[in-house]
Structure 1
Amino acid sequence: MSADAGSNSPTRALLPFELGGHLLAIDATVVIEVTGPRDWVAIPKAPPAVPGALAWRGRALAVLDLGRALSLPALTVPKTRARNLIIGLSDDTVVLSVDRVREARPGAELAPVHAADLGLPAYGELVLDEQIALALDIEAWVQSLRRKA
């Protein structure tokens, strides 16, 4: 994170997205690609937040269902949601399936989490089009899923 010269608020390049009426964002630098809906397969006995996998560039990637953490209906086969974020984590590449992706915000100013607290790890929150969005720490969320597995 860096700070603006005239501000104490941290800034970060963010990619906002919508999921089930929630507005969230992730660090834009971890997003490798944004795709449309894709076929995926369920993995029997998989945890609800990682229900299956899809093929991408000759690899099988874990499909993450953030909707479960937001009390939304589960992702169902055979298609993902309208958009898929291919995300490069420190030790893996995964897919986050979302409803809509908005334009990236190169120097989004973050505030401490207050109104957008969804019980998820976050860098902070920001205001987008008069809505408060949670800046999700995707790496920390995936690590928490691994600890639960």
Structure 2
Amino acid sequence: MTSWRICPFDDLTPREVHDIYQARVEVFVLEQECPFQDVDGADPQCWHLFTRSDAGALVAYCRIVPPGLKFTEPSIGRVLTTDAARRTGLGRVLMAEAVKRTKALWPDLAIRIGAQARLEKFYNDFGFEKASDMYMEDGIPHIEMVRP
């Protein structure tokens, strides 16, 4: 059973903040070659959900964005698993946990995400439906998706 930690930004330890930013830069900036400002000012208002390997390395992460910050609805973003944790099913476990935690925080609201278009089927499996035309973000095709 995977042990998850979820907390607002102010409850993260300095080590947790470091590990989160390190994983996000590794995945989004280096692997996906998206030179963008990852530290975007939203983190202090978000909830942060993550788990670690038995060895203590952060292996899965996302942030839960409150309503009104990115979209009218709450959102799930910066969804990642590190290279060592891929093809293990952990990404699916992470997304299921993120949806569950988001609905617990805002039970009466839909969830809207900005998803990489190539992952539409992945997010369909969690009840998300396409809600926009494709658009480019950081050089990668994206779509908005909504889950009631």
TM over 0.5: no
TM-score of the two chains, using structure 2 as the length reference: 0.32
Kindly indicate whether structure 1 or structure 2 has the higher relative contact order, using CA contacts under 8 Å at least 6 residues apart.
1
* Bigger radius of gyration among the two: 1
Greater percentage in helix: 2
